[in-house]
Amino acid sequence: MSRKKLILVIVLSILLFSVAIPIAINESYKHGVVYVTKWDAVDVLSYYGSLLGSVSTILALVITIIFTKKQIQRDRFLELNRTKWEKVDLSVTQMLIDISPLKMCNFKALNGSITENLHIIISNLLQYEATAKTSLNNIKFYINPIEYRKIEVLIEEIYNSIMHFCKIGDELLDEYLTLQTLALEHGGTIPNEELLKHLDRATEINKRIPLAHDAEYQRLFNMKRDVFERIYAEIEAEANQKLQFRK
């Protein structure tokens, strides 16, 4: 028998006894259809009222215990799942920070020689690509394959953006590596015509970085916010279901 049916039977029984028994007692003493006793109807009704009150108190206590247990289960479920998904949330946030296309331009002041400056730029681009392409590795540590489906579309979008950002980085890298090769071939200097040609190309490529940041990159943050708001709402709804009386 389910808990709902059991509680319904108990409630109906109490209601039945609270109505039927007083009437039966009254009719029995009224018509003298039962054995003679030293009790009168008032005494029996008083006893029955006390008994019914005790049963009601016990029933209320049982319901309170059951509800308290369910409340503890709900709070525990909520704590465990929110903690898990908050870790995933923070991990995705950090990943988005790491893949910001603006980081491709994030290097120290270029005050050295041509070869030193090119080394700084190239090292920064290589470091960005290495960080961006490995940033997705930690996501699956916190959740199982079924839970991963909740963020699968978001991760695919982030992956596609990483590939796009790295493509821009690769194009920049080609220009700066060419300049580095020319510098090595010419004893640390670069023919002016070649220098201007490759710097102009790099400048045009660099113009795509803020555009990618303001459009595609910001869209990822908005998408991430919507995905995790939905996940937290689902956790809250599932936790509240634990307060319901079911089998």
**82-133 tens-digit pLDDT:** 999 999 999 999 999 999 999 998 766 778 888 889 999 999 999 999 999 9
Give the span between the Cα atoms of 128 and 99, in whole angstroms: 7
Q: What is the mean pLDDT of the chain?
A: 84
Q: In the prediction, which pLDDT does 242 show?
A: 78
Q: In the prediction, which pLDDT does 50 show?
A: 77
- How many C-beta neighbours within 10 Å does residue 192 have? 8
Over residues 21-51, the pLDDT tens digits come to 666 665 665 555 555 555 566 666 676 677 6
Selection from 155, 194, 192, 160 nearest residue 178 by Cα: 194
Name the one residue in this structure whose structure tokens are 């908050």.
Answer: 86
The percentage of residues in the chain with a pLDDT greater than 70, rounded to a whole number, is: 79
Please answer whether residues 222 and 161 qualify as being in contact, where contact means their C-beta atoms are separated by less than 8 angstroms: no
Q: Compute CA 231 distance to the chain's CA centroid, rounded to the nearest angstrom.
A: 5
